[in-house]
Structure 1
Amino acid sequence: MKFFYTGSSQVPNFPEFVEVGFVDGLQIEHYDSNSRRFVPKQDWMNKITEEEPQFWEEQTGRGLGHQQTFKAYIEIMKQRFNQTGGVHIFQRMHSCEWDDETDEVSGFHQYGYDGEDFIVYDLKTETWIAPVQQAVPTKHQWDNDKALLAVFKNYHSTECVDWLKKFVEFGRSSLMRKDLPSVSLLQKTPSSPLTCHATGFYPDRAHLFWKKDEEELHEDVVRGEILPNHDGSFQMSADLDLSGLQDEDWGRYSCVFHLAGGQEVSKRLDKRDIRTNWKTNDGGFPTGAAAGGVVAALLLLTGCIMGLIVCLKKRPQASETSSSSGEDPAGKKMLETSS
């Protein structure tokens, strides 16, 4: 489960503040300063209201609070870095990962400013790391605050994992599904690398590779990252350099998609299956290529930019009920020590 918060200053056509949360790559909730409302992004997330009827109203209240806090954060950062106006972004990112077989727990918690790490929490040593000089005062203050360190430790080891388990149970039918992708062979021009593109698979624990006969290829192959699609599924690609490939060897090559759990999709290299948008000498397109080229371009451009923010759980206080998104336990400390 991952959460991203983004506060921005003078960024055109972008909200001043955004929070989002994800479970296994699926967005589960969203808040921004334009709508000023926390909303679920999966139908099964509404099950939380059976236990906590006011959950989304409480989340909205916290979102409004975070919005004001992040506005102050940016002003603090501008002072730290001796800046005045201009475009600036302050981010908080945190997560917890739970292995349901080994029960092992891990995660991360960090803050960033203008695209660079500002301060990072080390879960193993329970201390803060300051990648830049401007963060050193904050590191010293937070490292010496034992109560604050205890809050972070409890959050990542217990609270975050408890909510992750709850959400996994709510969304079991979606999160536990296994969807195989459609696999296409794409090529921009006859001299370009050949792209094997797989899209529509879930979950994102997958491997895409080229092989010759039964041997996986490592040379002349460039693998792309796994990227999210707008519908919650994923896509990835692997490029094969064809420059040294002999015509008689084409049938010996194939692209293989392997999904966690053992399911596979294999596509043998065949010139007739390549989708492209390059024109022939007579100004036309190769047979079947026109539509395929448009599809190829769209598929290669599909993907989402994840980089926003949500707190999982309110800092426990006397007689209060915790929720998945809450106050930043370090937020007040930063405001106190950074001005």
Structure 2
Amino acid sequence: METWTLSLLLVSLHGAAAVIHSMKNFETASSGLPNFPEYVSVGMFDELQVDHYDSNTRRVEPKQDWMIRFTEEDPEYWKSQTEIYFSSQQVHKANIEVAKQRFNQTGGVHIFQRMVGCDWDDETNKVVRGFYQYGFDGEDFISFDMKTETWIAPKQQAVITKHKWDHDKAWIAQINHSLTQLCPEWLKKSVKYGSSSLMRTELPLVSLLQKSPSSPVCCHATGFYPDRASLFWRKDGEELHEDVDHGEILHNHDGTFQMSVDLNLSSVPAEDWRRYECVFQLSGVEKDSVTRLDEAVIRTNAEKPIDTTTTTTIIIIIAAVAVLVLAVVGFMAYRKRKGEKLKDFQV
């Protein structure tokens, strides 16, 4: 059963220089996790989430406003995609059990995943890479090789699946069509609906943070878009490469990004701090965002002394709140006394 969701074949429009666009759909089935949905599917393009489905809500939800416009021509689109995901949920649930048998496992926590997608070059109109791969408990299980049109089995337990799928020529043709034809077609169509949103640039809030006076100073930038950005320290106008620690670009819940870079100042005299500055650069924005190192603007976790008057006031407030809570609890107790109321690889 082919469960590839075409709504996920979306384009990245970060600028004229960026011609490689990426789509990926991640499906995760789990067992032994009582507080986690047994199936979750997330659609991503260039690290931006575009839709979501899970076994608790049992419906596909768009995560970008332009995704709604993208599918206005087909009123039944989201309903049909929900049915596809529900079917995929059943298949992956069965696949977990098959994988557990292959690895001679019974209980415990297990994760089965599938990732489908492509990287596409809009200048050559060709697919650079196609993705169709499965994983079990955090390790590769089996993947499709577009060049040889065969399946690669890195685990002995997947060999039986490889033999079965290599002989399914109809399904191989379907996968090839999805990765080489449908992907670029839907990438082009999405330009019409998503360009205004995807071409935007959002500058971050930049802060200087420090856990303690002896800790490195962290320059933290959050809320920027797109993710093609850089953050670094420089001294006297020259970028620093020593005594710095670069963090990864991370996602924010609203679709923007965050990143940080630490600077070790343990051997730098206080009078030299003014020579340092943190620089943020965003693709498509000519002007850099520069934050000069200044002890006065550093946010820190170091405790500040509290005078006696402040301490006394806090104690009085806490005592008053405690009395109020006891009164409410007593009243509630009184009222209570008064009686007030996928393709399945199984062979």
| Paired position in structure 2 for 1:148 | 171
Which secondary structure does the structure 2 equivalent of 1:84 belong to? coil
CA distance in 1, matches of 2:292, 2:111: 46
For normalisation by structure 1, the TM-score amounts to 0.79
Structure-1 residue corresponding to 2:337: none
Question: Which stretches in structure 2 are left out of the alignment for 5+ residues?
Answer: 1-22, 308-341
Alignment correspondent of 2:310:
none
Q: Report whether the alignment pairs 1:187 with 2:213.
A: no
Aligned to 1:266: 290
Counterpart AA for 1:175:
L
Deviations 1:45-88 (A, max 9, x none): 12244322211111011111001101111001101110112211
Alpha carbons 1:24, 1:203 under 8 Å: kept? no
Output the aligned Cα RMSD: 2.0
Q: Choose the corresponding residue for 1:2, options 16, 24, 35.
A: 24
SS at match of 1:73: helix
> 1:269-308 counterparts in 2 under 5 A?
269-280=293-304, 282=305
How much does 1:151 deviate?
2.6
Instruction: Write the letter of the residue equivalent to 1:206.
Output: A
Aligned partner of 1:66 in structure 2 is: 88
Q: CA deviation at 1:145?
A: 3.8
Rate the CA distance shift 1:65–1:215 in 2: closer, same or farther, 3 A: same
Contact 1:97 1:161 in 2 (8 A): no
- Write the distance in 1 (CA, Å) between the matches of 2:285 and 2:65: 29
SS at match of 2:72: helix
Aligned partners of 1:262 and 1:100: how far apart in 2? 23
Q: Distance in 2 between matches of 1:101 and 1:88?
A: 42
Deviations 1:145-174 (A, max 9, x none): 444333323222221222233234312221
- Equivalent in the alignment of 2:158: 135
Deviation string 1:276-329 (CA, Å, 9 cap, x unpaired) is 12114x458xxxxxxxxxxxxxxxxxxxxxxxxxxxxxxxxxxxxxxxxxxx4x
Provide the C-alpha distance between the structure 1 equivalents of 2:82 and 2:147, rounded to a whole number of angstroms.
Answer: 33
Q: Deviations over 1:100-144 (max 9, x none)?
A: 455453343321111222123334454433232222222343344
How far apart are the structure 2 equivalents of 1:102 and 1:258?
A: 29
Q: Deviations over 1:194-234 (max 9, x none)?
A: 11100010011111111122222222111111111111111
Residue 244 of structure 2 corresponds to residue 244 of structure 1: no
What is the distance in 1 between the residues matched to 2:126 and 2:217? Answer: 40
1:233 maps to what in 2?
Answer: 256
Amino acid at match of 1:278: A
Distance in structure 1 (CA, Å) of the matches to 2:262 and 2:36: 34
User: What SS class does the counterpart of residue 266 from structure 1 fall into?
Assistant: strand
How many residues align? The count is 289
Shift of 1:91: 0.7
Corresponding residue SS for 1:178: coil
1:23–1:164 CA contact under 8 A, matched in 2: no
Is 1:55 equivalent to 2:54 in the alignment?
no
> Which residue in 1 is equivalent to 2:58?
36
Identify the structure with bigger relative contact order (alpha carbons < 8 Å, sequence gap 6+): 1
Residue 319 of structure 1 corresponds to none
Q: What letter matches 2:31 in structure 1?
A: S
**Alignment partner, residue 196 of structure 1:** 219
Contact 2:153 2:159 in 1 (8 A): yes
